[in-house]
Structures are given as C-alpha cells and as structure tokens.
A = this chain, B = another copy of it.
Amino acid sequence: MQVLEGAAARAALTRSFDEIPVPDAVLARIEATFGEALSPEQVVERILADVRARGDDALRDWTEKLDGTRPEVLAVSGAEIAAAQVDEELHAAIRLAVARVRAFYEQQPAHGFLNHTPEGALGQLVRPLSRVGVYVPGGLAPLISTLIHTAVPAQVAGVQDIVVTTPPARDGTVHPAILVAARELGITQIYRAGGAQAIAALAYGTASIAAVDKIAGPGNLFVVIAKRLVYGQTGIESLPGPTETLVVADDSADPRHVAADLLAQAEHNGAEPVLVSTSRALLVAVQAELSGQLEALPEPNRSWARDSVLSRMKVVLAADLNEALALANLYAPEHLCLLTRDPWSLLGQVTRAGGVFLGEYSMEALGDYVAGPSHVMPTGGTARFMSPVNVRDFQNIISVVGLNASAVQHIGPAGAVLARAEGLEAHARAIESRL
C-alpha cells in the first residue's frame, strides 16, 4: 500500500473530467463489436445517429448487438408489471426506500415567489417539467434503488409523465424487482432499452417512445457520453458515472468500519476508493482489515474488490484534518465519508461533494438505499459544479414580469438609456411608446 502525502497526494487527487481513462477492456470490446478501433465517442455518435434516423428498428438492432437480446416489443406491458413479484422482505424494503426518499425530498424548498408592489408584480413561477426519462442501468443485478432514487425526486417535483428505460436481461425480461419498484412508484411506462441507444430514444423519440424533456439517471461511460451529446436537444440533470467514495478517517475511526466502507466502494468493478487519514497507525490497521474482509467476500465481488484495492485505491496521509478536508474538496468526491471524532465540526469546511456521510452510523451503503437523499450524485469531479439528483432538476423557473404604468414612468427612462447605449434603438422606442 503506497501512502501519498503532500504535493504527491494533491497531484493524485487532482482530476479532469475529460481525461478519465477508458479501460482497455472497453476499447477491446468496442473493437470486437465494431470490427475497428473506435473511440467511445465515435461509437455513441453512430448509435445516436442511427436511432434518430431509424427509430425503434435501430433500438432493437443495437439492443440485440450490445445486450444480446432482441426486444420486438419494447414496452413492458401492464400485465407484466402487475404480475411481477418479489419475496416479502424485499418488497417491504422497496416500500421503505420509496417512503424514505419521498419524505426526504418533500422537505426540499422548491417554491417560487411573486411579489406585488405599487409598481406591479415580479416573481418566479416554478413549474414541473412535462415529461421526464429515467435511465436505470443494467449490469449483473437489477438496480432497484436507482429507479427509486431518480424517479421519486421527479415525482415530488410534480412531473406527471415519467418514462423508464432499462436494459433487458438476455432472456428479454426486465427484472421483477424493477417492476415491483415501478408499481410501488405508480410508474407504468417502462421500456426494454439501455445504453446510448436508450438515451437516443429518450432524446429524439421513436414510434414506441415519445421524446422526453429531460433525461436523468446514472450510467456507464457510453450513457454519460450520450447524455452529454444530446444535451440541448433534451435536458439532462447531470453526468453521473461510475460511483466513487472518499473516506476521511482520524485515529478515532474503527478500522473495521473504514475497511467495510472502502470495500463497499471497491466491489464495484473498476472502482477507485480513496482513503485520507491523519493517522498512520489507522492506515496500517485498515490494511490488515481490508485483507481479512476481502477474503470473506463471495465471488465475483471479491475479485473486483481486490482489483480495486490493489490496482486503483489511493491512500493518503494528511498532516491534519484541515489538509484532509482540503484534499477532499480538491477531489470533489461523489461520497465523502467522515469517520472522525467529531464529524459535524468539519461540515462547514465541505465545499465540494455529492453527499457527506457523518460518523460511523452514516455509512454510504445505507445512503445508497434507505437513508433518504438520492444516491444519484455527481461523479468524476463534477461535484465542483453539480448537485445530487433533486427536486429542482425536474422543475423550471419561469420569470414573471407584470409591471404597471407607474413602474414604466419610474424605470423606463433608464431602460431606454441602456438600450441606446447598446445600440438597440427599437428597444428604447418600445419602452418609450408606453411613457
């Protein structure tokens, strides 16, 4: 375990969104699939253009090519949704997660204002978006929680028309747990489509899937690139990609918990956990814990976690908690876990993170499911300027100007002066026509 300090730590935690390396395995898969060495951007551009041109047929073709199943019927039927079942324990957990996330977002202030004065009224309307697409990634297991953590803030925002896309399994089905969660959410529009092809369908529309106003939800490299490329044509909430966690721990932290939290990150294939500690003794103890807990994990999680820990984990020794927090802000992690003696005293220093998890009972794994805030948070350093999925992502502000003659008498002449200074004579005259 290489321990970084000072300038080396700062360099290791400085990152550029555009320079996130593409894993060799991804490039190899592209070459195997396309018969030539394309960049991920080129792949996505091809898929977007094809779905835009050919609609559902292209969507089926790409799903067959990339997901290994051809969804002749893209929409999941009401009967399929109604018939989906999971065991009662999981069903109850889904209900709890929906309730917790909903209760959290119902607290978010998201109202407009309208202020009347003798000169009229000025304000902001806050309106829900008309139609939103929720992207739920596939992978080896159903990401039930991602559906809940993306759709609920949209529902709280007041969006009436929510459509879900998620890659089908090889047998063409969508996992019953996803369908049960959709049923609990009252969502009826679910389509068998994943990857860039799903983003294309949501952005441009097809015969089966009407275009949406905004696409939300996390995804892999191809989904992130696709969202970036369709932005403008449609809205996107942010660019959440592979998950990431930075743990700040002092000498009071329990090495078992630190190791457990790092492994909960490391078990994501390709993850890059970061540990910043003020205690060299803790770093040593965590290393011993990591080895033991790693061995106890089942496959394939063990292999992925081991690879993350051995190949990509970053371990930093900070001079003090101030430096630790400065490094965390520099990295701008999706998840910032504060396993320190007095985590609340550090909160004011946190300027860049998707979420802050304070103390040993606020483990990030709990936040992924049932704590309340959405687990869809900014990654790749975008927490410098982006927020976790939240109610605002699904609402527009519309400015309201309702002034009267006395306002125009008061401020109109200054407006005309500014208009003429900008060379806009007809603007000045439009104002003066009311004076």
Contact = CB atoms under 8 A, between A and B. Distances in A.
A260 interface: yes
A396 B386 contact: yes
Given A140-B423, A430-B363, A418 B385 contact: no
A357 B401 contact: yes
A68 interface: no
29 contacts: A90-B418, A90-B421, A93-B418, A96-B411, A141-B423, A142-B422, A144-B418, A213-B385, A235-B385, A257-B430, A263-B429, A293-B426, A298-B425, A356-B398, A356-B400, A360-B434, A361-B404, A361-B405, A361-B408, A365-B424, A365-B431, A366-B403, A366-B431, A369-B414, A371-B411, A373-B399, A383-B396, A383-B398, A392-B397
What's the dominant secondary structure at chain A's contact region?
mixed
Interface stretch (A21-29, A32-40, A75-83, A347-355): A347-355
B386 A390 contact: no
A429 B94 contact: no
Given A347-B125, A386-B235, A403-B362, A264 B424 contact: yes
Interface of A: 16-18, 86, 89-90, 92-94, 96-97, 100, 104, 107-109, 111, 113, 115, 120, 122-125, 127, 129-130, 140-145, 177, 213-214, 224, 228, 231-235, 239, 256-257, 260-261, 263-264, 266-268, 293, 297-298, 301, 305, 343-344, 347, 350-374, 377, 380, 382-388, 390, 392, 396-405, 407-408, 411-412, 414-415, 417-419, 421-431, 433-434
Nearest to A111: B109
A433 B257 contact: yes
Given A235-B385, A352-B396, A385-B396, A402 B124 contact: no
Contact of A141 (B143, B398, B415, B421): B421
